[in-house]
Structure 1
Amino acid sequence: MPKNIPASLLLVLSATAFMAHAGESIPTLAYPAGDKQLHAIPAPEKDLPTVTAQRWIKVSDEGMQLEGPAFDREGNLLFVEVFGGQVLKADPQGKLSVVVPKNTLGSAGLAIHKDGRLFVAGLGNFKNTGNLTVYQSDGSGKKELIAGNKNYLVDDLVFDSTGGFYFTDFKGTSTEPTGGVYYVPADGQSIVPILPKLAIANGIALAPDGKTLWVTEFASGLLHRVELKDARTIAPFGEAVVYRFNGPSPDSMRVDQDGNLYVAMYSQGRVLVLNPSGLPIGQILIPGREHGHFLRSTSLALKPDTNEVYLVASDGDLGEGSAIFKAQGFAKALKLYSHD
């Protein structure tokens, strides 16, 4: 190669090279339609059988954080409001009323005893004053079953066939898993640890046979299947993580009579349905989620003797308040202890 190349020639060569590169087609990443937003459905679950729910009732113009829906024997849907602590009721026509007025208990979950009493899980100050409070069906007769000084954050609960119940302890982080699952027998005299060291234990449900316990970890996105030897003991080799959720974050869940598991996906505006093996088989979308609305889908209830699924959700500070939506699930509701 010549050592002395005229500067003018170098300029010509550089310009020619630049023009050649400018004409090249450089591979470029592009967003698939709709996938730029945070509310996109994770790729592994996009092609599942899908239905979009319809709005049943609007609960509030404000973004109240709704939780814990459960049907009573009269067909009323009861649910709680987390930051206000109150228990609300929607009758079969959708008319709203207050059962328990506003308080500082941080109500986060609700289950109904077969005698009609309301068992309300509370997060308290979200640090160390969680509680479980029992009311008569009309909201009277308040009784503290798990006191706020026991260092639990009681988030959700499910009755077994004896009247005892399991609850989740909503503590910890993804790197410091200090939450867990506990059992309280029907006499309410003890609290038995079942599954420790969970990263914000959240949703909990029992399979139709009453021998399989399902638990979600909110902070780590895991689904646990727990085979029970008896109410207080896990069977040998009976615990496994059977699903790892995509994106945020598994919240409360319910089971239908076929054993399918319906998991509310917080920050995703949808419910993911898994079969009794813990594999996804369908999903229910909340209308408006494609525009970022009602992503705070926290919980659901299946209406007795039907396959209707009622979802509670909040729009946060985006202006559409809080509402309850409904859709048809795969199978009819599992008969719960409240209806025995």
Structure 2
Amino acid sequence: MSKIELLASVPLNERAIPFKEAKPWFKVSDQQMQLEGLCFDNQNHLFFVDVFGGGVYALELTAMKLEKIASFENENPATVKRNHDGRLFVCCLGDMRGTGSVVSMNPDGSDQQVVVDSSLGYVIDDLSFDQDGGFYFTDFKGYSCEPTGGVYYVSPDYKTITKVLANMAVPNGVVLNTTGNGLWITEMSQNRLHYLSMTEDPTIIANYGSSVPYHFTGLEGPDSICIDADDNLYVAMYMQGRAMVFDKYGLPIEQILLPERKKHKMLRSTSVAIHPNKKQLVLCSNDGEGDGGAWLYTCKSLSKGILL
């Protein structure tokens, strides 16, 4: 496929951004599965969820063997993240109105414990841990002209939840930078990338520390995000079959395109992750009501990842 064909549906203002093509790597299903929440561990596994099917999966990377390790039926899990102690934390959207939750478990799915209860009224899409064991999460609510979502911080003992940023329209991905003093957030329904400079108090933004370094183009918008060891930020673009890459200053420096996007297939690119020990990027997507199924794609990243 030619460069012109690959870039055909990329916004005009972004066609000059260098690009590379991701290759199909692992077929998860022949049918539609809304894959999300890619996360590596240090034991040669890649974890992810199937949002609407409720499953949490582990792909063993040596044998490329896929195993379903847990099921959150009717809870709509949106991501899975690894804590510093090795436990997995699953974010659930719940009924997508106010019954979302966070549940921790062992890497095999055992010993499930509620961290954020479904009775608290959140719709939890993604989270990012800090060095003390607390974490930020996004409350996936609102509309473009009715911004009722926000970003919250959960204390390391999981007893206190504090609002960090409010009045957001469907905040989606969230990740701390490598130094732990900068927080990236994607706001899906406003097509915006946010950056917050945080103080030593993880709940307080520095004076003049909130900015929007980038505005995206197109329907649906920015989805889940991750960083690499050099603080480059990777943003999966939902319904666009691609991911965008930004440097630590919020400037776009690269994009990753899926080969089927030119034919308007495999556009549901939701999540991206970088292998912690090598320059390998993995991006997941599915073909919706089409016949392409659900796949993991891979290409070379700009740097190695970090172990979350």
1:46 to 15, 20, 35: 15
2:90 maps to 1:120: yes
Q: Tell me the CA shift for residue 34 of structure 1.
A: 5.8
Structure 1 letter corresponding to 2:300: Q
1:236 is aligned to 207
The structural deviation recorded for 1:114 is 2.2
1:186 aligns with 2:176: no
Gaps of 5+ in 1: 1-32
Does the 8 Å CA contact 2:42/2:307 hold for their aligned counterparts? no
- The CA distance in 1 between the partners of 2:58 and 2:190, in whole Å, is 32
SS of corresponding position for 2:13:
helix
What residue number does 1:89 align with? 58
Partner of 1:164: 134
Alignment partner for residue 71 of structure 1, among 37, 40, 45?
Answer: 40
| Counterpart secondary structure, 1:289 | helix
Q: Which whole-Å CA distance do the structure 2 matches of 1:250 and 1:141 have between them?
A: 33
Matched, 1:60 2:60: no
Cα offset, 1:65, TM superposition:
0.2
CA distance in 2 between counterparts of 1:168 and 1:117 reads 20
Read off the aligned partner of 1:54 and give its amino acid letter. K
**Correspondent of 2:244 among 272, 284, 287:** 272
Larger strand proportion, structure 1 or 2? Answer: 2
Q: Partner residue of 1:300? A: 272
Match of 2:262, SS state, is helix
Query: Residue 113 of structure 1: CA displacement?
Result: 1.4
- Structure-to-structure mapping, 1:88-107, within 5 angstroms: 88-92=57-61, 93-107=63-77
Q: How far, CA to CA, are the matches of 2:26 and 2:74 in structure 1?
A: 26
| Percent identical | 41
Q: CA deviation at 1:115?
A: 2.1
User: Contact 1:56–1:94 (CA<8 Å) still a contact in 2?
Assistant: no
SS at match of 2:207: strand
Separation of aligned partners in 1, 2:178 and 2:306: 7
Which position in structure 2 is the counterpart of 1:247? 218
What secondary structure, in the 3-state scheme, does the structure 2 residue paired with 1:297 have? coil
- Is there any run of 5+ residues in structure 2 with no aligned partner, and where? none
Deviation at 1:102, TM superposition (A): 5.0
What is the RMSD of the two structures over their aligned residues, measured on CA atoms?
1.5
Query: How much has 1:66 moved relative to structure 2?
Result: 0.5
Q: Aligned residue pairs: how many?
A: 302
Counterpart position of 1:224: 194
The TM-score, its normalising length taken from structure 1, stands at 0.86
2:122, 2:47 → 1: CA distance? 24
1:6-40 deviation digits (Å, cap 9, x = unpaired): xxxxxxxxxxxxxxxxxxxxxxxxxxx769x9x71
The structural deviation recorded for 1:259 is 1.2
Show the counterpart of 1:257. Answer: 229
Does the C-alpha gap of structure 1 residues 227 and 102 become closer, same or farther in structure 2, counting only changes over 3 Å? closer
How far 1:116 moved relative to its partner?
Answer: 1.9
Counterpart of 2:217, as a letter, is: N
Taking structure 2 as the reference length, what is the TM-score of the superposition? 0.95
The whole-number CA distance in structure 2 between the counterparts of 1:222 and 1:102 is 30
Moved over 6 A (4+): none
Give the 3-state SS of the residue equivalent to 2:269 in structure 1. strand
Q: For each residue in 1:63-109, what CA deviation from the matched residue of structure 2 results, as whole angstroms up to 9, or x when unmatched?
A: 10000010112110000010111100111132111100351211001
Secondary structure (helix, strand or coil) at the match of 2:259 reads coil
Distance 1:114 1:240 in 2: 29
Larger Rg: 1
Q: Within 1, Cα distance between the matches of 2:197 and 2:247? A: 16
